[in-house]
Chains A and B, each alone.
Chain A
Amino acid sequence: MGLGVLASRATRLSGRGNPSRSLFYVRTIVTKPELQSPEASSAAAAPEPTPDLPPRTPLGGARVHFPNPDDAIEVFVDGYPVKIPKGMTVLQACEVAGVDIPRFCYHNRLSIAGNCRMCLVEVEKSPKPVASCAMPALPGMKIKTDTPIAKKAREGVMEFLLMNHPLDCPICDQGGECDLQDQSMAFGSDRGRFTEVKRSVVDKNLGPLVKTVMTRCIQCTRCVRFATEIAGVQDLGMLGRGSGEEIGTYVEKLMTSELSGNVIDICPVGALTSKPFAFKARNWELKGTETIDVTDAVGSNIRIDSRGPEVMRILPRLNEDINEEWISDKTRFFYDGLKRQRLNDPMIRGADGRFKVVSWRDALAVVAEVLHQAKAKEVVGVAGKLSDAESMMALKDFLNRMGTNNVWCEGNGPNPNADLRSGYIMNTGISGLEKADTFLLVGTQPRVEAAMVNARIRKTVRATNAKVGYIGPPTDFNYDHQHLGTGPETLLQIAEGRHPFCSEISNAKNPAIIVGAGVFEREDKDAIFAAVDTIVKKYGNVVRPDWNGFNVLLLNAAQAAALDLGLVPESSESIETAKFVYLMGADDINLDKIPNDAFVVYQGHHGDRSVYRANVILPASAFSEKEGTYENTEGCPQQTLPAVPTVGDARDDWKIIRALSEVAGVRLPYDTVSGIRSRIRTVAPNLLSLEEREQATFAASLKPEVKQKISSTPFKAAVENFYMTDPITRASKIMAQCSALLAKK
């Protein structure tokens, strides 16, 4: 690097020493005569550009990573020298140099198609402008991005694109965030020369999520490449040739992918837009709030776009370590559930079995009174799958003060192992999975449990031909895999070395074992983890100082934080003898287990399953309305931020518990979020280092001996319906449509 800086300084000095050159240096050229004969003008500008430019910053903070320092080459972009690794394209080199090249078909996470021709630039000594996205940069190349030739070429491309593109921006949902609209501001002509009839294309039906207006399509094929490469469904394709070219599903068929919503983001024009968002709002009216998703344990980074008190849409946010720039359909479209079935007032069930609206004061007084009548042993608290760390901390502290420790988080099973952090998080990390070359999936269907993790595995399998072995019920994969078996016997066979897949694991450089959190609910959970442990010990390459390939794939946003905070029940049968049950958003527990004479308090934001059993309802705020900490399956804590105000008389979860504690006479010592966070610091300090993944320190080998016997019950699917997993998604109409149309029967 040092040499490169020196070299660039040297050239700059020499540039300054030659005053005659600056006469020829013209930066933006729009004059007509020059446009008419671009060759001549570029010839005039040709005698070496002035390298006397201020250093530019790479676009969008792009960082250059040199895999091998020897492979660095130097190119000149508009006279400014940049060092880039070998193999980068001209377009990437320009990005490093801080020059934005207009583009339609190029997308840095998709393969290169080079079919839109918008990215044309001039390269010295090449007879024609070159498509920069498809051209590898060569050492010493002199790239010119704003010469008349390049400009004229782009204007030409734009004119051809607009020839058949409808001029209906005012009725198009992409308006305001449309690449074609933006770039036509720079390269579009002010009048058209096209007088014939525009071509029109029949719209395609891609299902309940993606709306198509195919006449607007500019045939960039980004959507086709996304579907085949990232989503792994071969549903979309290019049909026909010439002016008959169309994007479509080959047969009348819906696009069945859990990632299909992303084509809305990557389509540069308004051909593919969001069906639920159609004609709802313009993007400049919306307020964006950067927050995270809670519908699964991945914690995808999202942006909630809201208008006033309403969530209008959800978009992904870039996070290379977690979701790259994609999100699953559930994350993107479940937001309409936030407007339905909401609980907005405290309610008490009267003698006639109907709910009556009461004030907070009365509701809390009733709950506190009943709570004091129950014996400490008979009090049980269950945190739901969407709970944030703050409220779980408050719930645990509160119930501990009431003299009981029967508090847990749903999904973690009857006796979770919270002692060894490495035993319940994804130790490899989601982005770390890309280094793995053999996967063993035990009782997990990542495609429905954590679509973004599945996308990572697929990316790895595609890039490196990694092997995937799967133990569990037959299910859909969108990459090559071997179905090894359905039950734990197969796991035992591998542990004992009697299975052909053993050689795959032992030969692998970085094997990764992923155990699904569905296993937590099994009776023989400890034995299964012991078997996995045996595999880990047997093949020394699974866990070693520089690689930890033992992973648990959690299901819910609350799980990891709950285990970190130690929400572990004293006895697993406590709910069957309970007299007072406090459900903090827990809707997926088995309600039949609660005795009939128990008093059930439901605190939550949706009138879902548990409300039917509840005696008192305390309305709480949903994740889009509060600030809360969530830890994802790889152990990375992140925070949600309030995007919209709370509904009705609802309160934040931790505040309800704090208030109840005071009414019940065991006042919790924190009044503010920061107070509760200092309390968390004493229990699980890692939850406070936001966006930093804390590695689990203990190796799995410290586990105690297990005496349990493995049962032969086959693994069950942990998620029955990908589109409906929690109270919010169950209240969503769009998710209901999706499960009716798309979910695999």
Chain B
Amino acid sequence: MAFRLTGVRVAANSGSLEEARGRVFEFFKSACRSIPQIMEIYNLHDVISESQLRSNIASQFRRNAHITNPKGGRGLQVIDMLVFKGMEELGNIVEHAKQRHHIIGQYVVGQHGLVQDLNPKDDAISPFLNNFYKTNYS
């Protein structure tokens, strides 16, 4: 592999929540630093702006905001594991191991797809119906 992100390798397990938190920020910053390069590699200028991409990445981080325990239920270092997975992903992206549609699908369009079944009346419907429109499983 010609290119490797340096300086953000996950060392041994984090000792405390603070340490893990620090690593997350480190990683987020390195992700932000790669954004211009990513825009260039995957030719994203006409579909998304840098700031939008940054906020999309940030929202992926926030999805896991509720995880406060560096040691998960079965003694797993959950935050470390997530950071590690994120780094793998970032490495793959920067190394051009992905293709344009991967990036667009995951970071430009997002989880919910292009067609968003949004309806202004949605507040009035029950959680059951809301879930029903999304999936058969709860």
Number of A-B pairs whose CB atoms are under 8 Å? 31
Judge whether A621 is part of the interface by a CB distance below 8 angstroms: yes
Q: Which residue of B lies closest to A365 (CB)?
A: B119
The interface residues of chain B lying within 8 Å CB-to-CB of A667 are: 126
Task: Evaluate contact between A658 and B128: CB separation under 8 angstroms.
Answer: yes
The interface residues of chain A lying within 8 Å CB-to-CB of B128 are: 658-659, 662, 671
Q: Which residue of B lies closest to A626 (CB)?
A: B136
A266-274, A412-420, A648-656, A708-716 - the one binding chain B: A648-656
The interface residues of chain B lying within 8 Å CB-to-CB of A359 are: 115, 117, 133
Task: Evaluate contact between A659 and B132: CB separation under 8 angstroms.
Answer: yes
Judge whether A254 is part of the interface by a CB distance below 8 angstroms: no
CB 8 Å contact bits of B95-138 with A (1 = contact, 0 = none): 00000000000000000000101010000011111001100100
Task: Evaluate contact between A360 and B136: CB separation under 8 angstroms.
Answer: no
How far is A720 from B119 in the complex, measured between Cα atoms in Å? 49
Task: Evaluate contact between B129 and A662: CB separation under 8 angstroms.
Answer: yes
Q: Which residue of B lies closest to A655 (CB)?
A: B132
The interface residues of chain B lying within 8 Å CB-to-CB of A132 are: none
The interface residues of chain A lying within 8 Å CB-to-CB of B133 are: 359-361, 659
How far is A663 from B125 in the complex, measured between Cα atoms in Å? 9
With A360-B132, A646-B136, A650-B136 as contacts: A662 and B117 at CB distance below 8 Å = no
The interface residues of chain A lying within 8 Å CB-to-CB of B126 are: 662, 667, 671
The interface residues of chain B lying within 8 Å CB-to-CB of A646 are: 136
Restricting to A630-653, which residues have a CB under 8 Å from any CB of B?
646, 650-652
CB 8 Å contact bits of B53-96 with A (1 = contact, 0 = none): 00000000000000000000000000000000000000000000
Restricting to A125-160, which residues have a CB under 8 Å from any CB of B?
none
Task: Evaluate contact between B119 and A651: CB separation under 8 angstroms.
Answer: no
The interface residues of chain A lying within 8 Å CB-to-CB of B132 are: 360, 651, 655, 658-659
How far is A360 from B126 in the complex, measured between Cα atoms in Å? 15
The interface residues of chain A lying within 8 Å CB-to-CB of B136 are: 621, 646, 650-652, 655
How far is A646 from B128 in the complex, measured between Cα atoms in Å? 18
Q: Which residue of B lies closest to A652 (CB)?
A: B136
How far is A568 from B129 in the complex, measured between Cα atoms in Å? 29
Q: Which residue of B lies closest to A360 (CB)?
A: B133
The interface residues of chain B lying within 8 Å CB-to-CB of A361 are: 117, 119, 133
How many residues belonging to B are interface residues under a CB distance threshold of 8 Å? 11
Restricting to A670-725, which residues have a CB under 8 Å from any CB of B?
671
The interface residues of chain A lying within 8 Å CB-to-CB of B117 are: 359, 361
How far is A658 from B136 in the complex, measured between Cα atoms in Å? 13
How far is A652 from B128 in the complex, measured between Cα atoms in Å? 13
Which residue of A621, A650, A659 has the most chain B CB atoms within 10 A of its CB atom? Answer: A659
How far is A359 from B119 in the complex, measured between Cα atoms in Å? 12
How far is A206 from B136 in the complex, measured between Cα atoms in Å? 42
The interface residues of chain B lying within 8 Å CB-to-CB of A658 are: 128, 132
How far is A671 from B117 in the complex, measured between Cα atoms in Å? 22
User: From residue B44, how far is it (CB to closest CB) to chain A in Å?
Assistant: 29
Restricting to A372-427, which residues have a CB under 8 Å from any CB of B?
none
Restricting to A492-540, which residues have a CB under 8 Å from any CB of B?
none
User: From residue A47, how far is it (CB to closest CB) to chain B in Å?
Assistant: 56
Which residue of B115, B127, B129, B133 has the most chain A CB atoms within 10 A of its CB atom? Answer: B129
User: From residue B82, how far is it (CB to closest CB) to chain A in Å?
Assistant: 26
How far is A671 from B125 in the complex, measured between Cα atoms in Å? 13
How far is A659 from B128 in the complex, measured between Cα atoms in Å? 8
User: From residue B137, how far is it (CB to closest CB) to chain A in Å?
Assistant: 8
Restricting to A596-622, which residues have a CB under 8 Å from any CB of B?
621
User: From residue B91, how far is it (CB to closest CB) to chain A in Å?
Assistant: 30
Q: Which residue of B lies closest to A663 (CB)?
A: B129
How far is A22 from B132 in the complex, measured between Cα atoms in Å? 69
Q: Which residue of B lies closest to A675 (CB)?
A: B128
The interface residues of chain B lying within 8 Å CB-to-CB of A663 are: 129
Q: Which residue of A lies closest to B122 (CB)?
A: A361
Which residue of A361, A651, A655, A663 has the most chain B CB atoms within 10 A of its CB atom? Answer: A361
Which residue of B119, B125, B128, B132 has the most chain A CB atoms within 10 A of its CB atom? Answer: B132
Which residue of B115, B128, B132, B136 has the most chain A CB atoms within 10 A of its CB atom? Answer: B136
Q: Which residue of B lies closest to A668 (CB)?
A: B128
User: From residue B119, how far is it (CB to closest CB) to chain A in Å?
Assistant: 6
Restricting to A330-374, which residues have a CB under 8 Å from any CB of B?
359-361
The interface residues of chain B lying within 8 Å CB-to-CB of A621 are: 136
The interface residues of chain A lying within 8 Å CB-to-CB of B127 are: 671
User: From residue A627, how far is it (CB to closest CB) to chain B in Å?
Assistant: 12
The interface residues of chain A lying within 8 Å CB-to-CB of B115 are: 359
Restricting to B25-42, which residues have a CB under 8 Å from any CB of A?
none
How far is A701 from B87 in the complex, measured between Cα atoms in Å? 77
User: From residue A720, how far is it (CB to closest CB) to chain B in Å?
Assistant: 35
User: From residue B115, how far is it (CB to closest CB) to chain A in Å?
Assistant: 8
Can you list 22 A-B pairs, Cβ within 8 angstroms, ordered by A?
Answer: A359-B117, A359-B133, A360-B132, A360-B133, A361-B117, A361-B119, A646-B136, A650-B136, A651-B132, A651-B136, A652-B136, A658-B132, A659-B128, A659-B132, A659-B133, A662-B125, A662-B126, A662-B129, A663-B129, A671-B126, A671-B127, A671-B128
Which B residues fall within an 8 A CB radius of A?
Answer: 115, 117, 119, 125-129, 132-133, 136
Question: Which 8 A-B pairs rank lowest in CB-CB distance, beginning with the nearest?
Answer: A671-B128, A659-B132, A651-B136, A646-B136, A662-B129, A659-B129, A360-B133, A359-B117
11 more A-B residue pairs beyond the given contacts A655-B132, A659-B129, with a C-beta to C-beta distance below 8 A? A359-B133, A360-B132, A361-B117, A651-B132, A658-B128, A659-B132, A662-B125, A663-B129, A671-B126, A671-B127, A671-B128
